[in-house]
Amino acid sequence: MIAGSCGYIEERVRGRLWIKRPIVFLGGDMNEFLVACPANSSMVFPADFDRDDGAVETWTAGQWKLTSKTFKPPTVFRIMSCDRPYDVWFCTDDRNFLGCDWYVNFQRPCVLRGEVVETMDWQLDLKVDEASRSWQLKDQSEFDAALASGLLTSEDATQVEQALSAVQHAIEDGALPWDPAWRQFASEAL
C-alpha cells in the first residue's frame, strides 16, 4: 500500500465477511504500519449485533446479515502488523472514546491483499493507561468461548497468550510495544 491510499480492513469468520471498514494507509511496512479509520465513514457491519453481546454465539451459528453503518466516533488510528497477533488503537483527539490511552486488540496477524488488510478479532483486548503503567483485560470470557467452540485453535491461543504476556511486561517496564513515533506521525497525518 502507498501512503495516502485508501483500502479496507476485512474481518472474516470461516471465510464469510463479518466486518468491512474503510481505512487510509498512512505509512510503514509489513512489520508495522499505520492506518486511520476515518470518523463518519460507512462500514459494513452485522445487522442487529450489539458489540456487548456474545460474538462467538453469532459466529458459531453462522447466521448474520450485513448492513451499512456509520463509524461515528473520532478517527481511530491502528498500528497493525503482519508479524504479530495484535494491533494497537489510539486516538489523537479524544482519549475518552477508547476509555484509555491506547487499546490492544488481539487478532489474527494481518494478511495484505492489494487494498485489503485481512484479519479477525480474537475477542481479547487490553485497555492501557500509559501514565500508571496499568491495564485492564477485556473480554476474556469471549476469547475462552471462541477457543472452546473451535473458532480459535490451541496454536492461536498460545500465540495470543505469549503476545499478551509480552505486552503486559512491556507496559510494566514503561516501554511501548509499538514505535512511539506513530503517535506524532498520526497527529500530523490528517
Q: How far is CA 76 from CA 34, 36, 123, 146, 163, in A?
A: 11, 6, 18, 26, 22
- CA angle 20–21–22, rounded 5-degree value: 130
pLDDT of res. 91: 85
Residue 113 pLDDT class (50, 70, 90 cuts): very high
Q: pLDDT of 137-150, one tens digit each?
A: 999 999 999 999 99
- The dihedrals phi and psi of 110, each to the nearest 5 degrees, come to -65, 150
Residue 33, pLDDT > 90, answer yes
Q: pLDDT of 58-98, one tens digit each?
A: 888 888 999 999 988 788 999 999 999 999 998 877 666 77
pLDDT of res. 155: 93
Determine the average pLDDT of the residues in 18-45.
93
CATH number of the domain located at residue range(s) 6-189 in this protein: 2.40.380.10
Conformational region of residue 20, where left means phi above 0, alpha means psi within -120 to 50, and beta covers everything else: beta
Distance CA 125, CA 88 (A): 10
Domain ranges (residues) in the chain: 6-189
Residue 115, pLDDT > 90, answer yes
pLDDT of res. 44: 95
3-state secondary structure of 2: coil
Q: What is the rounded radius of gyration, in angstroms, for the C-alpha atoms of the chain?
A: 16
Distance CA 35, CA 148 (A): 32
Scan for cell 462467538, then name that residue.
56
Distance CA 104, CA 124 (A): 9
Q: pLDDT of 166-175, one tens digit each?
A: 999 998 888 8
pLDDT of res. 34: 95
Handedness of CA 104, 105, 106, 107 (dihedral sign): negative
pLDDT of res. 2: 87
Question: Crossing angle of helices 154-172/140-149, nearest 10°?
Answer: 160
Burial (CB count <10 Å: 0-12, 13-18, 19+), residue 63: exposed
Which triple of cell numbers denotes residue 125?
Answer: 483486548
Share of the chain above pLDDT 90, in %: 55
pTM: 0.91
Determine the average pLDDT of the residues in 34-61.
84
